[in-house]
Amino acid sequence: MGAFAFGSTLITFIVILVILIALLSAAIFIVPQQQAYIIERFGKFHKVQFAGIHAKIPFVDRIATKTNMRVSQLNVQLETKTLDNVFVTVVASTQFRVNPENVATAYYELRDPAGQLRSYMEDALRSAIPALSLDDAFARKDDVAFDVQKTVGNEMARFGFTVVKTLITAIDPSPQVKNAMDSINAAQREKEATRQRAEAQRIQIETQAAAEAEKTRLQGEGQANYRREIANGIVDQIKSLQAVGMNINDVNNVVLFNQYLDVMRSLSESTNAKTVVLPASTPGGYEDLYNQVTKAMLTASETAGSTPASAAPGARTAQ
C-alpha cells in the first residue's frame, strides 16, 4: 500500500513538472536580432517585443507575427513614354524597411507592403518620366529617383514603413531608338572630326604659305646680294683697268667681252638639254654683239634725253 502511494506521488510530481516545463516554455520566448514580435492578448494588440528574452502569459498572450526589421529591396520595371514621345522601359529599385516605432501600424494597416510599394513606385515613375525628354531623362536620372523616393516615402510613412533609397538603374528605349541615337552621335562625331581636319589643313596651308613666302624672300635677298657682289666686282674691274691707263671705251669692251665669255661657258656647262644658236666666232661674233649692245645703249640715252626736251615747249605753252 505504501509503495502504491509512493508511485502515485511520483507520477503526480512528474506530471506537475511536465506541466510547469510546458508552461515555462510557453511563457518564455527569445526574439532574434533585427526582428520584432507583436504580442496580442485575447486577440487584441498588446505590445511589441524586440531582440532579447521575454515572457508572456500562456494561453492569454500569443505571438501574432514576427516582423523582419532588415532592409528589403523591391525592383520595379515598367514601360512609359517621355515628353518627346519615345517609349522607354524604366527599371527602378527601392530599399525599404519597417519603422521600429510603427511596427504595429505596419502589420495591422498594410497587408501587402511590397504590392502597395510597387503601385506607388509605378505611379510616381509614370508621373515623372513623361515630363522629361529622352535626353533629360538620362541626364536627370538621379533627380527623378530623388523625387520618386520623396513621393513614395511620404505615402509609405503612413503605414509605418521607411523608404531608405530609390535608384533608377536603367532607362532603355527601343532598339530602333537606340540605333537612331547611335547614328546621331556618330554623325556629330564625324562633323567634329571633319571640322578638326579642316582646321588642321588650314593651319598646314598657312604654315606652308608662310614658309614659301619666307623662302621667296630669302631667295630674293640672295639674288640681290649676288647681283650686288657682281656689280661691285665689275666696278672694281673697271677701276683696275682705268688705273693701268685704259680709256673708258676699252674698259667697257674688256668687261663686256669677259661677261660674254662667262655666258658662253655657262651655256656649255649647263645640264639642261637646250640648243641655243649664237654667233660664237671671235672676235667677229663678239664685235657684232658689242655693236648691238652699244647701239642699244646709245638709243636708250638719246630717247631719255629727247623726252625732257619735247616736254619743255608744251610746258611753256601751258603757261
* 196-228 pLDDT, tens digit each: 989 999 899 989 998 888 888 888 888 888 777
143 in Cβ contact with 149 (< 8 Å): no
Does residue 180 surpass a pLDDT of 90? no
Give how far Cα 319 sits from Cα of 270, 292, 307, 310, 314, Å.
Answer: 60, 42, 19, 15, 9
Indicate the domain borders of the chain. 19-68, 72-173, 181-222
pLDDT for the residue numbered 319 = 35
The CA distance from 124 to 135, in Å, is 19
State the cell numbers at 253.
669692251
**Cell numbers representing residue 229 in the block:** 657682289
Dist. CA 251–CA 234, nearest whole Å: 10
Q: What is the tens place of the pLDDT at every residue in 122-132? A: 999 999 999 99
User: What's the DSSP call for residue 57?
Assistant: -
CATH architecture of the domain formed by 72-173: 2-Layer Sandwich (3.30)
Backbone angles phi, psi at 156, to 5 degrees: -75, -20
By the 8 A CB rule, do 164 and 71 touch? yes
Looking at residue 279, its pLDDT comes to 57
The pLDDT tens digits of the residues spanning 226-279 come to 777 777 777 777 777 777 776 666 666 667 767 766 776 776 666 765 666 655
> Helix, strand, or coil here: 124?
helix
